[in-house]
Amino acid sequence: MTLRIERVSAHGRTVVGLIGWVRSECLAEIEAQIECAKPRPALDLEEVTLVDVGAVRFLSACEQRGIELLHCAPYIRRWMASERPGQGNGRDGRDEAERKG
């Protein structure tokens, strides 16, 4: 399945809904939709079925920029946490110090 993007505006906020598989190749289009959704964009991930590592890193960066992630699946949250510096590399669960030493 490919990715479908839907934008809904209500109450001074725009929600960008992602439906399907979020892959690295789609991130530029998602970013463009977020830029059009100012001033208070949010991403609705309720209908996301799969993500790749690039998408996980992108979603984490979005959240750090203050973009709310709505209906984010627990497996995506865990993966985002594992990709943060000092939290492991997302592949083997070891943190940076463990890999170096």
pTM for this prediction: 0.82
State the residue range of the domain holding 50. Answer: 4-91
Into how many domains does the chain fold?
1
Is 34 among the domain residues?
yes
- At 47, give phi and psi (nearest 5°): -105, 20
Instruction: Please report whether residue 63 resides in a domain.
Output: yes
Residues of the chain where predicted confidence (pLDDT) is lower than 50: 90, 92-101
What's the confidence (pLDDT) of residue 86?
74
Whether 33 is in a domain gets the answer yes
pLDDT at position 10: 81
Residue 43 lies in a domain: yes
> What CATH number has the domain bearing residue 43?
3.30.750.24
Whole-angstrom distance, CA of residue 85 vs CA of residue 1: 31
Instruction: Look at residue 96 and tell me if it is in a domain.
Output: no
Q: Specify the pLDDT at position 101.
A: 38
